[in-house]
Amino acid sequence: MSAHDVRTVRTNVRANVRTVPGPCAHWNDQDADFIREILDLVGDKWSVLIIGTLESGPIRYSDLADAIPGISQRMLTLTLKQLRRNGIVTRTTYPEVPPRVEYALTELGASLLATVLALAAWSADHHAEILRHQTSFDSATAT
């Protein structure tokens, strides 16, 4: 059923991009570009973690830092800037003392989160199978 859902979505891409709908679409060069684009967006170390943390609603910079263990200030700032540049998050400054800055998901960001969770779904579904392959491959290689 998961496979069926994905196929539905997949047909939609092509319908939008080249108006070639149908049940049996195939990989083409355009796909490569789109994949590169989304990997640039979320393929780094922290983007999806931040997006996921923002699901609960607007959150302050420091709370974000606390919610994402291991992230450095530098990477938090840098990644947030990229996400803002791509319209995934918004930054709102409240002129108070001490200053307060809140980050929130845009609609675009929310839809990206949903897509990313589909990825997590696949990963969860096949986690065990992948692990089995890894260990069998490693033991075969070791000998």
Partner DNA sequence: CGGTATCCAGATGGATACTG
Partner DNA sequence: CAGTATCCATCTGGATACCG
Query: Rule CB under 7 A: which residues touch DNA?
Result: 44-46, 60-63, 70-75, 77, 80-81, 91, 98-101
Smaller CB distance to its own copies: residue 27 or 97? 27
Q: Is 19 in the site for its own copies (CB under 8 A)?
A: no
- Look-up of token digits 């579904």: 125
List, in sequence order, the alpha helices (H) in 57-106: 61-67, 73-85
What does 99 bind: DNA, its own copies, none (CB cut-off 5 to 8 Å by kind)?
A: DNA
Among 82, 102, 77, which residue's Cα sits nearest to residue 92?
A: 102
Smaller CB distance to its own copies: residue 32 or 101? 32
- Cβ atoms of residues 84 and 90 within 8 Å: yes
- Cβ atoms of residues 101 and 61 within 8 Å: yes
Q: Is 108 in the site for its own copies (CB under 8 A)?
A: yes
# binding residues, its own copies (CB under 8 A) = 61
Smaller CB distance to DNA: residue 59 or 113? 59
What does 104 bind: DNA, its own copies, none (CB cut-off 5 to 8 Å by kind)?
A: none
Residues 22, 85, 97, 139: which binds its own copies (CB under 8 A)?
Answer: 85
Q: If 0-12 CB within 10 Å is exposed, 13-18 middle and 19+ buried, where does residue 50 land? A: buried
